[in-house]
Amino acid sequence: MMDCAITRSPGTTTQAPLATLCGHRRSPIGRRMLAAPDQRRCLPDGMGVEMRTMRDGWGVRSAMRAGDGAAGSVLVLNGRGDFMEKYAELIHDLSGRGYGVASFDWRGQGGSGRLLGDARGHASDFAPWLGDLAEQVAWFRATLPPPYYAVAHSMGAHLLLRHLSRHPDFARAVLLSPMVGLQAAPIGPWLARHVAALACALGNGEAYAPGNGALARGLPGTLRQRRLTHDLGRYADEGWWLEQHPEWALGGVTNGWLNAAFASIDALAAPGVPEGIGTPLLILTAEGEALVDNAATVRLAARLPHARVRDFAGAGHELVREIDAIRLPVFEAIAEFLA
């Protein structure tokens, strides 16, 4: 029986690049505390950052912090082009409620190297990311105490769903703006799918896809900012981190990435795949979504045995980096679901 309710709401290790750390202050309201604004630009004290070597020798920048042992542990998975520190505020919030937390930069982005040796966001297949995720989940489960949860954003949510279809490793999971389908602006998903496939067939898989190019973070008020978040301070945090670590910057996607993304989306939507995911899921979507396809998310959710969808009015793609009027209800929904 489907539990799909749709509601609307207002390996080995080596030393990794150093992370900015800061203390986590307890609040008189205890478990309901949220991170202070200055904690958006540091990871919590005690969050060890290391470079973990995957089976094929690739280094994946990873971080982990123990919790109080009673609440359980959360794996935070970021999206395409992201890095762990972009979600420092979320990591602080989860740590403040006693959870152990782990996260990592996907191979090819953040501090985990580049697939083409430059800033192009490339992939020829999502399989290496799925392999990395399986290794990272095993590390997470072997090191931190249960129960095990995941909070995953966009591409990270897509990869988590594919992982869950094979490995029921989590008691519950929250999916933020999951990449179940793509809007693929400026040409739309149907044409983008065929253009990417043709480009790859012609040997142009490593070229930027139409509408993509080198990273242009843009100033507050730009289209990119409005698509991601309406909070100018949180938007500026990303730029601050990239000023400290310009090597973390990643450009737009290549034809190869787009072709691989559509193939992985098809694999997730194949008959029997969503129906076989038994993990309870909370899916949070943004009413103002301009990157992923919310209609595709709703269709997939209807096929998941234990999924609830909640849409947030006025929100952009990055729900946990939105203005407080949106972000606070988003985090409370996450905390309530995991409790």
pLDDT tens string, the chain, 339 residues long: the values are 334 444 545 443 344 444 666 654 443 333 444 777 789 999 999 999 999 999 999 999 999 999 999 999 999 999 999 999 999 999 999 999 999 999 999 999 999 999 999 999 999 999 999 999 999 999 999 999 999 999 999 999 999 999 999 999 999 999 999 999 999 988 999 999 999 999 999 999 999 999 899 876 666 778 889 999 999 999 999 999 999 999 999 999 999 999 999 999 999 999 999 999 999 999 999 999 999 999 999 999 999 999 999 999 999 999 999 999 999 999 999 999 999
Number of independent structural domains in the chain: 1
In a domain, 249, yes or no: yes
User: Domain with 254 in it: what CATH number?
Assistant: 3.40.50.1820
Q: Which among 140, 195, 164 is positioned nearest to 273, based on CA atoms? A: 164
In a domain, 32, yes or no: no
Amino acid identity, position 203: G
In a domain, 60, yes or no: yes
In a domain, 22, yes or no: no
Which domain range does residue 305 map to? 5-17+39-338
Q: Specify the residue for token string 């973990």.
A: 52
Query: Which residues neighbour 61 within 8 Å (Cβ) at sequence distance 6 or greater?
Result: 16, 17, 49, 50, 51, 52, 84, 104, 105, 110, 111, 112
Tokens coding 186: 């400026």
In a domain, 296, yes or no: yes
Helix, strand or coil for residue 88? helix
Distance CA 8, CA 16 (A): 41
In a domain, 27, yes or no: no
User: What predicted TM-score, i.e. pTM, was given to this entire model?
Assistant: 0.91
Judge whether 172 and 335 are in contact, CB under 8 Å. Answer: no
Helix, strand or coil for residue 281? strand
In a domain, 128, yes or no: yes
Query: Which residues neighbour 51 within 8 Å (Cβ) at sequence distance 6 or greater?
Result: 13, 14, 15, 16, 59, 60, 61, 62, 111
